[in-house]
Structure 1
Amino acid sequence: MTDRITSAFGLRSTAREVAAGHDLSGRAVIVTGGASGIGVETARALAEAGADVTLAVRNAEAGAATKAEIEKTAPGRVSVGHLDLADLSTVAAFASAWGDKPLDILINNAGVMACPLTYTAQDLEMQIGANHFGHYLLTLGLARALMNGAEEGRAARVVSLSSIGHRRGGVNFDDIHYRNRPYDKWESYGQAKTANSLFAVGFHARFADLGVTANAVMPGGIRTPLQRHLPVEEMIAFGWIDAEGNVNPRFKSTEQGASTSVWAALAPELEGVGGLYLENCAQAEPWTEASPFDGVLPHALDPEGAERLWAVSEETTGARV
C-alpha cells in the first residue's frame, strides 16, 4: 500500500487533539448514539470546535444530560433528536423532520453488540437490523441534506462505524436474519460490522460525484456500554478485563476511541476520498497474522459484496437513490 493515507495522529490520539485547529462554525453534524460511549466524545470534540451537533438518541433523558454536559465547554449549539434504529418508523421520522436543511457530517456511531437473538420492530435480526438497516435508511433519508451541505472544494462526509469484529465473518445473504440457522451472537455481530463497512463502499460509489463521501471506521477496543450484553466472565475470558475489573491496557479510553471518527469527519487528507476502512487515524492495512489486532479483511471492502448488500437494503427498507 504505497499510497496508503496516514496522518500525524495515531493509536493514542484523542478526539479533541484531532479536532484542534478546526473551525466548524456553521457546520451541521449528526451523531447517532451521541449520548453514550465514544458517541459522547465524538460529539463533544466537534461541538467544541464550533459545530452545531445533533445527538440522535433512543434515550431522550440521556440525550438531554449529554447535551447539558457538552454545552459547558462547547461554543457550538447542541440539540437532541429521537432516533431508535431498531424501529424504521422513527428513523424515517427523524430524517423527515430534518428535511433538506444542509448537513455537513453524519456519523453513524450507534450500535448494539452480541445481544441475544431478538428482532426489530420490522422483524429484522437486531444486530444487522439496527447497526446496518437502520443506518442505511437514515443516511438515504438524509442524502439530499448531505448534498446540500457540500460546498465547492469541500464534500459532506458520512462516517460508518465498523469494528475489528468484521473479521468474524461476512454477510450471510442466504439467511441474514437467522430464520433457518442457529443464532451465534458473535457471527451476527461480525456480519453487521462487515455490513457497516460495505455500506460505506456502496454509498461512496453512488454519492461521491454528488459531493458526499463515505468511509468506515474501526474505533478500537474501548470499555463502554456497548458491552452491556456481555457477562463479566466472558470479558475476563477474552482478556478484556481482569478478575478485579481492570481494563486491558491495550484498550483505548473513550476520548481515544472517538479520534478516528473525528479524523474521518475532518481530515484534509480525506477530502474527496472514500470507500476506505480507517483505524488509528489512518487507512487500515490488510490484516495479517503478524499484526492480529489491526487491519481489514478483503470481504469488508469487496465492491461486489457492497452491491449485493445495497440491493438487499433497498428491498428491505424501500429506500432507493
Structure 2
Amino acid sequence: DGEEAFQLPAYEIVRVPLDWNSAKADAEARGGHLAVITSEAEWQKIQAVVGAALFQQEIWIGATDAAIEGQWHWVTGEPFSYQRWQGGQPDNLLNQDYLMMRPPGATWYDMGSTAVAAAYLLERENVFQTDPNNPDTDGDGLKDGDEARFYKTDPVRVDTDGDGLSDFEEIRRFHTNPLLADTDDDGLADGEELFRYHTDPLKQDSDGDGYSDLLEVTYGSDPTLASSVPGPQSRIFTAVEIEFDTKLGELYQMQVLADAGGWTNYGAKYVGTGQPISRLISTRTAPKQLWRVVISK
C-alpha cells in the first residue's frame, strides 16, 4: 500500500457544530487535539495551511479558564503567553470559560459551556501507525497509502469526517467531500441527506424550489418535491428592553459599547417628556453588548 506511517496535515478545520467540550473530545478521537497557538509564527503557519476559512466562521481552539477564573491555559499545558483577544475580551460574562475565534478577524472571545461553534481547529502532532500486513488498515475499501497521500483521509478511520458515510462511499460512490461532514454546507450531514431525507448532499436546495433542504426538513415540507414548500412560520428571537427616566425637554442619547472598546451612539436622540421612555432592541446578531443612556449636550 505504499508505506506504513503517515503524517496527516498538522491543522484542519473540522466542520461539525459542537460545544467546546464536545469539540475537545471529537478532536482527541481523531488522534489530535484542539489547536494551540503559542506564537505569531505558529499563527502564520496555521493560516498557510488552512487559509481563508479561518476568518469565515466561529471556530473553537484549545484554551480554557474553567479550572481557575482568569487563568487561561492550553489543553496541551503549554504557556498561555501569545494572545489575540478582541477588544473588551475576555469579559467572563455569564461565566464564559472557553476560547472561540470569531469572524471577520479570527480574534478571540471567551464563550460559555453551552455555546456552539460551526467548527473547530484540529491540530495533529502524531504519525498514524497503520498495519504493515494489511493494505487497508481501517477496512474502508481504500488503500492506506491512497488515503494519506491522495485523499488526505485518515487511514485508521472508516469515516474520517464522521458524517455517516465511509471514506470509500464518499470518494467512489457519492462524490462528496470525505473531509467535510456537510459537503454542501446546508446544515445537514451528508449521511443524513442520503439515507434519512433522500436529498442531494451536493445541493443546498435539492428540489430547486427556493427553500434549503434544512429549512424544509425543519418545517415539515418535502425537500425532494418542488411543489411542497414550507408554510409561513413564526419565529422568536432574543431582545433587550431599555427603559430610562426623562426630564421634560432634556436630550438623551443611547450608546452601545463597540468591539474596539469605545462607546458609540445608537440611533437618534430622544427628547425627554418627563415620563419613562422604553425601547426594544433585537439581540439576534449581538447577544453580548453593553448599553447606556447619556444626557446629550
**Fold shared by both chains (TM-score > 0.5):** no
Of the two structures, which has the highest relative contact order with CA contacts closer than 8 Å and spacing of 6 or more?
Answer: 1
TM score, norm. by length of structure 2: 0.24
Higher helix share: 1
Larger radius of gyration: 2
Q: Judging by fraction of residues, say which structure has more strand.
A: 2
TM-score, normalised relative to structure 1: 0.23
